[in-house]
């Protein structure tokens, strides 16, 4: 029986390491952030501001108690910061209270009539509307290429979209964003446009389409052969046909786009080929739900994905970053089963060998 005990201890230990310790270590590397289930209602925005205000209040009390020299100007600076934060909190509360009041479900036909305000910058390919500019010209004008809106109604949360049209910076939770607010008119008109976007949304979207719409204007994916301006063209090395020159020209265009994007964002957004291996599931979902929660001050916008939209994006990141995962997961149980059966057989054999000898 001793052998079986040793075996079971080894098995249990391995399982604990695999399912317990590793994910736990991952979760400890990042601060805990509450996940709101991809609901966009301003809750985390308000909580983050409350927390900042609390911290500054503590700092002011500390300064007052310290009794050091020239604390007056230091306190005045902190108080100025405090007042700015309080004003921001009021503004944030007011904004989301208005958004939370907008009734769901607009008039898609009225929205269709109003979409002209959008296709000045965005394409809607599925409706035969090409983007008015190529990505490089768009980046020169706005810093980033406005995404095609064919899939927007399927990927983004309805309330988020209404908030985004009213005030892109509030919705995306960033300091600046190239799309102006109020283009859709009042909240009712915004709801109509969102209803139109939902009405044209395709039933099925591939993981790659989800990634391209939601992330692809900012993030490349080398393993997926995606650059911010499109797929890497398939060219063969052949100087005679001039195809090398095409590949070179494409690279130059990508570099040009990335330069403008880095300027707009403050830095070039990282390639996401293997992010799925570098970051835990918990980090990714809370980060995408609200980038400010994990990286305060970041320029990456909250994009407003629904749960389904997020899952699509993640499955693309899994496809490119960990292509052998499905295979590995499928073979895992077989390998384990083999070991169990093999151990039982070995144990039986061992017993039978020793039977007459004891
Ligand atoms: C002046 C150009 C311009 C106009 C007009 C415009 N947009 Fe945009 N839009 C942009 C840019 C630029 C971005 C990308 C901004 C970024 O990612 O920082 C964007 C982003 C978006 C996004 C993506 C939001 C997300 O969650 O990532 C949606 C949806 C959108 N626009 C919808 C609309 C709709 C609907 C209209 C019409 C009411 C419209 N836009 C009008 C420039 C424009
Ligand atoms: C408008 C541009 C933009 C869009 C759209 C965008 N990102 Fe980002 N992203 C950034 C920038 C800029 C950074 C760098 C953030 C920083 O360091 O402050 C970043 C960083 C990241 C990181 C790295 C965070 C870290 O440090 O670990 C991840 C993961 C990420 N983005 C995922 C996504 C996903 C997934 C999407 C689509 C759902 C997306 N991003 C859409 C601009 C963008």
Compute the average pLDDT of residues 339-355: 88
What is the CB < 6 Å shell around ligand 2?
144, 214-215, 217-219, 265, 267, 269-270, 272, 275, 279, 287-288, 295, 298-301, 303, 305, 313
Compute the average pLDDT of residues 312-326: 89
The single residue listed with the structure tokens 């990927």 is: 155
CB 135 less than 6 A from any atom of ligand 1: no
> 25 versus 184: which is more confidently predicted?
184
Quick one: pLDDT band at residue 230, thresholds 50, 70, 90? very high
Predicted confidence at residue 295, as pLDDT, reads 96
Distance of CA 83 to the CA centre of its chain: 32
Predicted confidence at residue 2, as pLDDT, reads 84
Predicted confidence at residue 53, as pLDDT, reads 97
Predicted confidence at residue 354, as pLDDT, reads 84
* CA 230, 206, 146, 265 torsion-angle sign: negative
Predicted confidence at residue 330, as pLDDT, reads 81
Domain range list for the chain: 38-101, 102-323, 324-358
Q: What is the CA radius of gyration of the chain?
A: 27
Query: Does position 259 have pLDDT exceeding 60, yes or no?
Result: yes
Residue nearest to atom 33 of ligand 2 (CA): 215
Quick one: pLDDT band at residue 208, thresholds 50, 70, 90? very high
Quick one: pLDDT band at residue 356, thresholds 50, 70, 90? confident
Quick one: pLDDT band at residue 4, thresholds 50, 70, 90? confident
Average pLDDT score over the chain: 92
Alpha-carbon distance 276 to 186, whole Å? Answer: 40
Mean pLDDT lowest among 48-52, 94-98, 192-196, 338-342: 338-342
Query: Does position 23 have pLDDT exceeding 80, yes or no?
Result: no
Quick one: pLDDT band at residue 32, thresholds 50, 70, 90? confident
Predicted confidence at residue 237, as pLDDT, reads 64
Predicted confidence at residue 24, as pLDDT, reads 65
Quick one: pLDDT band at residue 28, thresholds 50, 70, 90? low
User: Do 60 and 79 touch, CB atoms closer than 8 A?
Assistant: yes
Residue nearest to atom 24 of ligand 1 (CA): 303
CB 301 less than 6 A from any atom of ligand 1: yes
* Angle (CA) 29 217 280, round 5°: 20
CA-based end-to-end distance of the chain:
15
Predicted confidence at residue 29, as pLDDT, reads 58
List the one residue out of 41, 308, 52 whose CA is nearest residue 173.
41
CB 116 less than 6 A from any atom of ligand 1: no
> How far is the centre of ligand 2, averaged over its atoms, from the C-alpha of 185 (Å)?
29
Query: Does position 190 have pLDDT exceeding 70, yes or no?
Result: yes
Compute the average pLDDT of residues 272-279: 94
Predicted confidence at residue 26, as pLDDT, reads 58
User: Do 233 and 281 touch, CB atoms closer than 8 A?
Assistant: no
Alpha-carbon distance 21 to 94, whole Å? Answer: 43
């Amino acid at each position: 029986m001793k052998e079986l005990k040793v075996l079971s201890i080894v098995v249990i230990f391995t399982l604990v390491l695999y399912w317990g310790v590793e994910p736990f270590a991952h979760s400890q590397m990042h601060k805990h952030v509450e996940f709101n289930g991809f609901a966009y209602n301003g809750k985390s925005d308000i909580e983050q501001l409350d927390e900042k205000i609390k911290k500054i209040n503590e700092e002011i009390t500390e300064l007052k108690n310290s009794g050091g020299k020239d604390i007056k100007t230091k306190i005045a600076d902190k108080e100025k910061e405090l007042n700015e934060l309080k004003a921001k909190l009021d503004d944030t509360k007011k904004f989301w209270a208005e958004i939370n009041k907008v009734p769901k479900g607009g008039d898609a036909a009225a929205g269709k009539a109003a979409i002209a305000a959008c296709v000045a910058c965005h394409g809607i390919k599925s409706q035969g509307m090409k983007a008015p500019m190529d990505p490089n010209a768009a980046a020169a004008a706005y810093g980033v290429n406005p995404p095609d809106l064919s899939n927007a109604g399927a990927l983004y949360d309805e309330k988020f979209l209404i908030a985004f049209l009213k005030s892109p910076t509030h919705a995306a939770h960033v300091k600046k964003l190239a799309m102006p607010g109020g283009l859709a008119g009042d909240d009712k008109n915004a709801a109509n446009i969102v209803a139109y976007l939902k009405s044209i949304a395709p039933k099925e979207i591939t993981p790659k389409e989800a990634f391209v719409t939601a992330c692809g204007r900012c993030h490349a994916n080398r393993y997926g052969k995606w650059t911010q301006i499109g797929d890497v063209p398939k060219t063969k090395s052949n100087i005679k046909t001039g195809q090398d020159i095409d590949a070179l020209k494409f690279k130059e265009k990508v570099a040009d786009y990335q330069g403008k994007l880095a300027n707009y964002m403050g830095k070039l957004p990282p390639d996401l080929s293997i992010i799925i291996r570098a970051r835990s599931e918990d980090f990714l979902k809370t980060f995408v739900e609200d980038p400010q929660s994990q990286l305060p001050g970041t320029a990456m916008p909250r994009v407003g994905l629904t749960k389904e939209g997020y899952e699509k994006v993640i499955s693309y990141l899994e496809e490119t970053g960990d292509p052998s995962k499905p295979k590995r997961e499928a073979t895992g149980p077989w390998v384990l089963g083999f070991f169990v059966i093999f151990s039982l057989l070995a144990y039986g054999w061992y017993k039978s060998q020793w039977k007459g000898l004891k």
